[in-house]
């Protein structure tokens, strides 16, 4: 059995919790900021209800990686939780869990926390760095919104 680990990232987002939360459920928005560059999301599916599917088709250095999961909790505007399987992992049937929380912070800002549990230990560094990059891209995306 592979050892599992947890990646954790926090960032202050330049928008209210409801706005940041909604970005996570909008497929067009997710396609812009979810995949750490230079990767890019070529297709995004989001069924925003408990039991609904989430899927990212990712162009990763010329190859296609499929990330798929299912929503476990949706509590607007404070919590999202979903499973995460990655076709590129040593065991592509392994399932991890992503929990994203949104807390008011300052005037019109949000403290967003991502905790990705049950990650295979050999991918920890990639996911720790990847989630940090995703957060930075979401900040840029939010700053560019009208």
pTM (two decimals): 0.94
- On whether the CB atoms of residues 30 and 24 are closer than 8 A, the answer is yes
- On whether the CB atoms of residues 67 and 86 are closer than 8 A, the answer is yes
Q: How far is CA 93 from CA 11, 53, 66, 87, 97, in A?
A: 30, 16, 12, 8, 13
Q: Which domains does the chain have, with CATH numbers?
A: 4-144 (3.30.530.20)
pLDDT at 1 over 70: no
Q: Is residue 128 left, alpha or beta, with left meaning phi > 0 and alpha meaning psi from -120 to 50?
A: alpha
Give tens-digit pLDDT for 14-54. 999 999 999 999 999 999 999 888 888 999 999 999 999 99
Give tens-digit pLDDT for 115-144. 999 999 999 999 999 999 999 999 999 998
Q: Please state the separation of Cα 66 from the chain's center in Å.
A: 14
């Amino acid at each position: 059995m592979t050892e599992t680990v947890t990646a954790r990232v926090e960032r202050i987002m330049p928008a209210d919790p409801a706005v940041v939360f909604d970005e996570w459920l909008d497929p067009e928005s997710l396609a812009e900021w979810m995949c750490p560059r230079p990767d890019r999301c070529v297709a995004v599916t989001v069924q925003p209800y408990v039991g609904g599917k989430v899927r990212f088709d990712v162009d990763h250095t010329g190859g296609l990686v499929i990330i798929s999961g299912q929503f476990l909790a949706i509590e607007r505007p404070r919590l999202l939780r979903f499973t995460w399987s990655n076709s590129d992992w040593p065991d592509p049937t392994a399932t991890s869990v992503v929990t994203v929380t949104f807390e008011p912070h300052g005037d019109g800002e949000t403290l967003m926390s991502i905790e990705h549990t049950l990650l295979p230990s050999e991918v920890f560094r990639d996911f720790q760095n990847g989630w940090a990059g995703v957060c930075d891209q979401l900040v840029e995306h939010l700053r560019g919104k009208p």
